[in-house]
Chains A and B, each alone.
Chain A
């Protein structure tokens, strides 16, 4: 057997080389490099492959042939042994594999191998000593071994403290950055809306579906096509707009919520051929506390002749909800061409809900364009409630084919108008003087034409109409109220719990330019209940052309009776008006029921349903109420 060098053994173990080790193992399985048997060296140098294959064989060796101990082995051992090194000062004191495991703190493996060597008292004492030196709790007996955790070294402790500091710093920095972004920009969430401060951000926000809030006034020059589905809180700040866009809106569609926003338009001239809204074209969402100001708007409109053309401030069409909007504007509107055209303060066509909206003092003057304080066309599902109009509305017409309409709240009501007031003055002037058959003029304190329900409304604005040739329907609440048919079902209009306190001044020139005027309605085919009228009339009843009634200008006289159901109506007794209902229209039919002519007869009184009395007496009645 040749002499083996400790260098070769160490090389095989350090490199965990099974081939090299196999050659050595064949002849030198019982050698030890100084104090270190081969298995101890394998543990020291973590030679896993060698240990896996030769551990059992190496564990069985009891006697060793000692060769040189390389210095580097000692140096490495010293780093792991620490104070336990003192146990191995003598050169002949071997570091057995189990002791090496204890020194290297491989307790699990130690526990596994211990039973085979438990009877060795020297080993037990050595192990106890190692554990004591390393401050590890231990219980080493003949049958078992229990070892506690080894306390960390100063380096390990420092490493952990360092890691802890870095982790805390990282969390703080990241959370701080997160909070900074949240506070300075916002995340676009409900609890942390994105803070919009520029036009580009606003345009981006209005195409999105997050939560946004304005942080300052923004000048806007662009428009937003498409739908806004998010939530925009104006926070009291304003959008300043210099030019109304050619598209006719600022935002094409609102499906989300827009609130606390002010929109300020500079005075401008506008040419329009299609509907224009100062804010939204179609509102399907909610708009709350939106305030629009336009000092002066001069409009030249060419009617399309196909689609209805509306000018409105909040939305052209609304099927959502508009709450507490405010509008302050002055409009001078001239229209040419054929087709329907109307100006409505808040909305053009409403099938949704308009609640608590106010149009403040201003002047809207139009030519051949219908005008209303709040909404042009309130459709079947539309609800207008708690609204107030303070602006003066005036329309002039010289056309034979145009029926001028002016209504304090709506032009045409098919839905419900509830608890709304008109304080603005209404004027309609028709100067058409031709021979051909012409239309009619309609003016109503709440609605010029009513097919729906008007409940708990107040009309305080004076009404003035002049007509050269055409028939006039003028009423404190509605110009004309008529039934509507939906799916072959007939629905009658209802005027209830409403009051009128204004001056009605109606004039006409031609002898056939009849005037149907009433404190409540110019004409009614429906029901009125719990209403009062303190209206006074400049031109009273003359039984010829001026058919002016204290309650109604006209009603229908049917086979079944009069077309009006009235309950508890109180009207002011004035000298120049004689009847509750000024005239009754009867249809003369042929044998087959076709209408061949209409006969007008002088009206009369509803003795039990309509009560005539003085102002102070009316004010003491339960039906009386006034704006607070």
Chain B
């Protein structure tokens, strides 16, 4: 189950991050060519994606802390 969550969250994050990079590039190009104002919509989406990444990082950190390596309790079997 944990692996499934990890897999889907990682894939989602990756897709969203690629979108963020594209969005950022578009934002900068528009900034320079259009009205010299960074689109507020792009800015909002961009911050949302950064926020999602931070949540993803938090998820990884928390799960790594909760799953600190434990030795098996019965090695003699």
Contacts and interface: CB of A to CB of B under 8 A. Distances in A.
B26 to A, nearest CB: 13
A194 interface: yes
A558 interface: no
Interface of A: 83, 86-87, 108, 129, 132-135, 149, 151-152, 156-157, 159-161, 163-164, 167-168, 170-171, 174-175, 177-178, 181, 185, 187-189, 194, 196, 201, 204-205, 207-212
Interface string B40-59: 00010010001001101100
Nearest to B46: A178
Contacts of B24: 174, 177-178
A251 to B, nearest CB: 16
Nearest to A194: B36
Interface string B5-23: 0100010010001001100
Contacts of A134: 72
A99 to B, nearest CB: 14
Nearest to A211: B37
B57 A149 contact: no
Given A189-B38, A210-B35, A167 B72 contact: no
B60 to A, nearest CB: 4
Nearest to A205: B36
Given A171-B53, A174-B24, A204-B36, A129 B77 contact: yes
A129 B64 contact: no
B35 A171 contact: no
B21 A174 contact: yes
Contacts of A207: 35
A171 B75 CA distance: 42
A160 B77 contact: no
20 contacts: A129-B74, A132-B74, A132-B77, A135-B72, A135-B73, A149-B2, A151-B69, A156-B3, A164-B57, A167-B53, A167-B60, A171-B53, A174-B21, A174-B53, A187-B31, A187-B37, A187-B38, A189-B38, A210-B36, A210-B37
A208 B72 contact: no
A194 B37 contact: yes
Contacts of B57: 164, 167-168, 171
A433 B77 CA distance: 130
A208 B56 contact: no
A204 B6 CA distance: 47
Given A163-B10, A164-B57, A133 B77 contact: yes
A201 B74 contact: no
Contacts of B54: 171
A87 B76 CA distance: 11
A86 B77 CA distance: 8
Contact of B43 (A163, A171, A187, A196): A187
B71 A135 contact: yes
Contact of A174 (B13, B20, B77): B20
A188 B60 contact: no
A167 B32 contact: no
A189 to B, nearest CB: 7
A135 B70 contact: yes
A364 to B, nearest CB: 37
Contact of B6 (A160, A174, A210): A160
B52 to A, nearest CB: 10
B42 to A, nearest CB: 10
A209 B35 contact: yes
B60 A163 contact: yes
A576 to B, nearest CB: 65
Contacts of A164: 57, 60-61, 64
Nearest to B64: A160
Nearest to A151: B70
